[in-house]
Structure formats: C-alpha cells, structure tokens
Amino acid sequence: MLDIVRAKQKSMFIKLAFAIIILSFVIGYAMLTSPTGNGDRPNDLAASVNGSKISMEEYRSAYSNIYNLYQNIYRDQFTPALEKQLNLKRQALQQLVDQRLLAQEGEKLGMEVSKKELVDAIAKIPAFQENGVFNKQRYVDVLSYQRLTPDVFEEMQRNDLLVKKVGDYLRGEVSVSDEDIEAEFRKQNEKVNLAFVRFAPALFEDKVEIKEEALKEFFQQNQEQFRIPEKVSIRYILFDPASYVDQVKLEQQDIEKYYRRHLDQFEIPEQVRASHVLIRVARDADKEVRKKKRALAEKILAEAKAGKDFAKLATKYSDDKASVAKGGDLGYFTRGTMVKSFEDAAFALKPGELSDIVTSPFGFHIIKGSGYIEAGVKPLEDVLDEVKQGLRKELARQLAYEKAMDAYNINRKAGDLDAAAKSAGLEISESGLFTRDEPVGTLGSQPELNSAAFTLQQGALARPLNLKQGVILMTLKERQESRLPELAEVRKAVEKAFRRDKSVELAQAAADKLLADLKTAGDLNAAAGAAKLKVEETGDFARSYGDFVPRIGQSADLAKQAFTLTEEKPVADQIFEINGKFIVAVLKKHSTADMAQLDDAKREELRTSLTKKKQDEVYRAKLDELKKKAQIEISPALASLMNEG
C-alpha cells in the first residue's frame, strides 16, 4: 500500500507562495485595526509616506504577523539566523510602504471598489463558507472570534481589493514578440556543465597558527564584534488557565457558538473502503512484458467476477506486500491519498462492486469497493465532550487574562508585583539574565516576551502577556548594559574568530595557486590531482536558472561567465567567492538549444509566462517610480530597531 500512497508533503516554496497571497491581507489588517494607528505620539511614529503616518503599533503588528507566517512555514528550521537572512524587519516596513503608496495612487486615479465587488470577494473566502456556500452566521461567528466587526473587516477587504486593482492597472498591457519567445526558448534550453573545485576555509582552520601578539592585535581591531549584549532578568507571576477551569460555567448558547466557530475541526471527509490486487509493472517494462502482466490481471478480474473470494485472490496474486496479508484490504481512505487513477476508480464504486482493470504508475489494479462514508460534519451531540473541553480551555484562558488585568490595574501605579502576587495567591518566579534573542528561562523563546521585557523600566509593571504557558504579569529585576569585554572574558570566541579569519586567507591563496597552475597546465583534473583536490560537476543548467548555479549556489558573475566559455577558452578567468567558499571553474560541456522542439504549444506556453513576467516588471518599475517620488521618512526609533541584531 505504501507504494501507491501519494506524497502529501508540499515543498517549502509552495507553502511560501501560498502564504504570501494572504500576507498583504494581514498587513491591511494591521493598518486598519491598530489602536494607535495615527502615530501622533513621537515615540509611536514608525514611518510616514507622503505625510500618511505609519505607527509603531502598525509596524509591530505587521512584523509579528510576518514572523508568525515564516515560523509556521519553516517550523523547527526557523532560527534567528534565518530570520536575519530573510530580513523580516525590512519586509514588514516595505509591505506597509507599498500598501500606502498603492492606496494613494488609487485615490489619485479615482479608483473605487463597488459594493458588488466587495460582496463577491467576501463570499469567496472559504472560512465563511459551509459546503462551499457563503454562510452569514458563520461569517459573523468567525469575525466575532477574531474580535472584528463586519464594518472593520469589510473596510479592510475593500482596501485590499483597491490595492490589487491598482496593481492590475499598473501592470497594464504588454506585447510579446516571436523574437522574445525564441530568445526565451534558447535561454531555457541552451545548457552548460561546469567542472569545478571548491576551497572551504573551514578545511584550513587547523593550519592556522595562533600567536599571542597577533591574537591581541586581532582582538583590538575587532573588539566591537565581541561586545557583550544588553541583558535583563525579570520577576513574574503566571496565571495558569488550568487553575481556572473549575470556575468556568458553560452555557448552552456558548457551547453551540463554539461548535459553529470550529466546524472545520469536526468535518468528516468523504471516504471509501476498498481492497485491491496489484500486478506490478516496472516503469521501463517493454510492450511484451506489459502485455503478459495485463493478461494476468484480466484473468484475475474474470475469476473475481465469477464469484471467487476476492481476499483469496489478493493473497495469491497481489504484489502489494503491505495489503496482501489482509486480503488486499486498504481500509478507509480519503481523496488525495492515492494516485489519481486509483482514487477515481475506487470512489466510483459502490460497496461490493468490482472495477475494470485500472492502470497506475505501479501497474495494473483490480479494485473491490467495500464501504463508503459520505462527507459531512459530526453533529454536536457526537462531539459534545470535545466541544466542552475546548470551550473550557478557551474560557479559562480568558478568565486568567481577566485576573491578570485586575492585578495589573490595582498595582500598576505602585509597580508592586509582590502585592499583586499576594492578592492573586500566586508565587513569584524569576528568570536568569537573558539577551534579546535568548530564551527566557522556563518560559522559552517567545518574541513578544523578549520585546516587552527590554522595554520595561525599573519599578514598573508590564501589561499582562498572553503566552503559551498562560498569562504573565512581570516586572524588571535587573538590567546589565551592553559593554566591551576584556580578552580573557571572550578568549575562546576570539581564537575561533581568528582561526576563521585567517583560514579565509589560506583558502583564497590555495584557489589562486590552482587557477595559476590551471592556466599553465590547461587540465583541471591534472592540476587538481597534483594538489589532491576533488573535482566536482554542476550538471547541465540553463540561462533560465538566473544567478543560480547547481551544486555551487547564487553567483551572477559565474552564471554569466559560464555561457561565455568555449572549448578554446574553457577556464573561467577569476576566482568566485560563493557562500564563503572559493570556486575555480572550467567548461565541461556546452549544449545548444534544439529550435525544432519549439512547437505551437510551447510557443503559447512561453507567450503566457513572458506576458506575466513583463507585466510584473512593469508593475515593479512603476512602484519603484512611486517610491522615488514619494517622501518616505523612517523614525529614529524604527531605524534603531531595524539595525538591532
């Protein structure tokens, strides 16, 4: 069975593409729902676009949404280093600026979003649908759960539609000529294969000799690199929602409302139960083999139709080892689980019916239906315990937050956490010292917690924070300012950095020597062999790869020079530093595009993709022009925040 299960895991890039579709919507939400969106207070202003203010609250909301978006995409792979590489702080600002500029351009052009356009767009949002149809009650419930009113949401949607309409207008009409299509075809199909040697500095680190005077000089020149960052510690009390579960009272109307808001959790997908016999056929099997396998499948189908026990036939003939021990039974499965040809045939069967012979990438199947479950939603009475449990947790968290807010409001002027803890009957916990990027003791890594902790002043209570563990009320315990260290404090880190720095020089020198030898010898394998270096190949790649070179990485210079190399002059005339490594490359093979393969269907495909590409280029150019003409000012507070880390 495992052989015919379709892989469900989507690539990271597909997830990212989907996420970006909703990102502008999220930014629009930040713009419209920010409680301090006018940026009137000096410290609240993040930026302004032609006089239209963007508040720090808007920026934080936009950044938080983008952060959570990428965190959900990359999950365990989402590290502070990746966050920095993605430059999320600048992304958040850029999204807000683009939104402002497009909205302003829409006003200048007199563009509007009609009532019908707005209604149609909202009706198409799956979150507001039941069985594929817009449901007003679900619409109201979902917005209520998100603490949004229909008026605010509809204005947010109207703004989003206006921005998209302006974007479509800016893209305009473009033309694609036959020459453009032929050039693109050549770009995609002319290919080269490079042979190369890479020099990784890490492999030279053990050759670096550390001398005390050189180390001291290196430390003095790079002391800022080893600066000890600002650290704080906090005292806090935790309002654990679990402690308030017994105080929660469930009303029938709340139970029904929770159930309606979470219908997606109780959906029953359409399912079918089936058994099968698989006659496996290798993908590269010739016609004669396929003919014999087909004949065997037809024989088995005839026996099944004659009334022979299907389970015994599966046990005797099936090549699916996972299901053969169960008489071919695959159990219940949903759509999207099996390969399409198998799925279509199985879902077309009624219990007890036999399929004709079904062809899949794995061979020939005979399928017997044995059960069917229609798509639907579990009734409330069947999931009542689950609904009550979920509602209790939700209300308990709300109650925990209310208790924390009561303690905050009573003690905020005095900033007295001890009094707040005593009145709430809670113990005070303390964290150790932590930096802006480090986990906060047992509370772990939570960006909103770190951000709030570093804005705390001595003797002040922070507003309650809703964290994974519960709701916390905290105050600052200690702050250690950032400072420059003595060499003895950071000696190991300095030695490591020194080795890394000097190893780069050694790696580059080795690459320079190989290139010089190669220009003399003309044979990469011979020159590399003499130095006991490994020669690798990129494999064929086309101009359409852009700046990406397989097995090497991003390099505009190498990608461009690769297509200028010839059999007469196969050696790239420079060292390429890519991803911290030094590359020496030569031409291995050059393949020209076969223009005979450019048929009408391919021409139309290229015309479509080139049209979109040109429209996007026009859009980006016009948006860049709007930015050049615009007065965009970034506040010192935001500039400082963006330069951190």
Residue 485 within a domain = no
For residues 293 and 310, give the distance between their C-alpha atoms in angstroms, rounded to a whole number: 19
Indicate if 434 and 569 belong to the same structural domain.
no
Does position 197 have pLDDT exceeding 90, yes or no?
A: yes
Q: Which of 340, 332, 5, 346 is nearest to 355 (CA)?
A: 346
- Among candidate residues 480, 502, 527, the one where a domain is terminated: 480
- Among candidate residues 447, 480, 513, the one where a domain is terminated: 480
Indicate if 51 and 165 belong to the same structural domain.
yes
Q: Once rounded to an integer, what is the mean pLDDT over residues 379-399? A: 95
**Chain segment 592-626, per-residue pLDDT in tens:** 998 988 999 999 999 999 999 999 999 999 999 99
Looking up residue 118, the CATH number of its domain turns out to be 1.10.4030.10
Concatenated DSSP letters for 155-185?
HHHHHHHHHHHHHHHHH------HHHHHHHH
Does position 470 have pLDDT exceeding 90, yes or no?
A: yes
Q: Once rounded to an integer, what is the mean pLDDT over residues 184-199? A: 93
For residues 148 and 153, give the distance between their C-alpha atoms in angstroms, rounded to a whole number: 6
Share of the chain above pLDDT 70, in %: 93
Indicate if 57 and 83 belong to the same structural domain.
yes
Q: Between β-strands 465-466 and 429-430, what pairing exists: parallel, antiparallel or unpaired?
A: unpaired
Residue 387 within a domain = no
Q: Between β-strands 231-239 and 271-280, what pairing exists: parallel, antiparallel or unpaired?
A: unpaired
Looking up residue 310, the CATH number of its domain turns out to be 3.10.50.40
Indicate if 499 and 539 belong to the same structural domain.
yes
Q: Once rounded to an integer, what is the mean pLDDT over residues 261-281? A: 93
Indicate if 542 and 581 belong to the same structural domain.
yes
Indicate if 7 and 139 belong to the same structural domain.
yes
* pLDDT recorded at residue 21: 34
Q: Which residues contact 495 (CB under 8 A, 6 or more apart)?
A: 210, 215
Averaging pLDDT over each range in 135-144, 148-157, 177-186, which range is the top one?
177-186
* pLDDT recorded at residue 71: 83
What is the three-class DSSP state of 457? coil
* pLDDT recorded at residue 201: 95
Q: Tell me which H or E stretch contains 140.
A: helix 136-145
Indicate if 501 and 455 belong to the same structural domain.
no
- Among candidate residues 433, 458, 480, the one where a domain is terminated: 480
Concatenated DSSP letters for 544-569?
GGTTEETTTEE-HHHHHHHTT--SSS
* pLDDT recorded at residue 7: 29
Q: Which of 99, 92, 85 is nearest to 69 (CA)?
A: 92
What's CA 173's distance to the chain center, in Å? Answer: 32
Residue 281 within a domain = yes
Indicate if 32 and 77 belong to the same structural domain.
yes
Q: Quick check: 304 and 366 in contact, CB under 8 A? A: yes
Residue 546 within a domain = yes
User: Dihedral (C-alpha) 589, 594, 597, 601: value to the nearest 10 degrees?
Assistant: 90
Residue 77 within a domain = yes
Q: Quick check: 72 and 90 in contact, CB under 8 A? A: no
Q: Once rounded to an integer, what is the mean pLDDT over residues 189-215? A: 94
In 77-86, which positions are buried (b, 16+ CB within 10 angstroms) versus exposed (e)? eeeeeebeee
**Chain segment 31-77, per-residue pLDDT in tens:** 444 444 444 554 588 899 999 999 888 888 888 888 888 887 887 78
For residues 312 and 328, give the distance between their C-alpha atoms in angstroms, rounded to a whole number: 9
**Chain segment 311-354, per-residue pLDDT in tens:** 999 999 999 999 999 999 999 999 889 999 999 999 999 999 99
Residue 261 within a domain = no
* pLDDT recorded at residue 62: 87
Write out the two tokens for 340.
């399409």
Indicate if 142 and 35 belong to the same structural domain.
yes
Q: Which of 51, 152, 159, 62 is nearest to 103 (CA)?
A: 159
* pLDDT recorded at residue 43: 59
Q: How confident is the model at residue 628 (pLDDT cuts 50, 70, 90)?
A: very high
For residue 554, list its beta bridge partners.
Answer: 548
Q: Tell me which H or E stretch contains 202.
A: none
What is the three-class DSSP state of 387? helix
**Chain segment 144-172, per-residue pLDDT in tens:** 766 778 888 898 899 889 999 999 999 88
Indicate if 464 and 531 belong to the same structural domain.
no
Indicate if 200 and 310 belong to the same structural domain.
no
Least confident of 270-274, 492-496, 542-546: 542-546
Does position 9 have pLDDT exceeding 70, yes or no?
A: no
From its phi and psi, is residue 552 left (phi > 0), alpha (psi between -120 and 50) or beta? alpha
Q: Which residues contact 484 (CB under 8 A, 6 or more apart)?
A: 223, 224, 226, 227, 228
More confident residue, 141 or 299: 299
Does position 494 have pLDDT exceeding 60, yes or no?
A: yes
More confident residue, 130 or 587: 587
Between CA 190 and CA 196, with CA 191 as vertex, the angle to 5 degrees is 155
Indicate if 168 and 20 belong to the same structural domain.
yes
What's CA 115's distance to the chain center, in Å? Answer: 34
* pLDDT recorded at residue 41: 52
More confident residue, 81 or 645: 81
* Backbone phi and psi for residue 47, each to the nearest 5 degrees, phi listed first: -165, 170
* pLDDT recorded at residue 541: 93
Residue 263 within a domain = no
Q: Quick check: 556 and 170 in contact, CB under 8 A? A: no
Q: Which of 636, 641, 455 is nearest to 43 (CA)?
A: 636
Q: How many CB atoms lie within 10 A of CB 570?
A: 18
Query: Could you tell me the residue range of the domain that residue 300 belongs to?
Result: 270-374
Q: How confident is the model at residue 645 (pLDDT cuts 50, 70, 90)?
A: low
For residues 417 and 428, give the distance between their C-alpha atoms in angstroms, rounded to a whole number: 8
Question: What is the rounded average pLDDT for all residues in the chain?
Answer: 88
Residue 438 within a domain = yes
How many folded domains does the chain comprise? 4
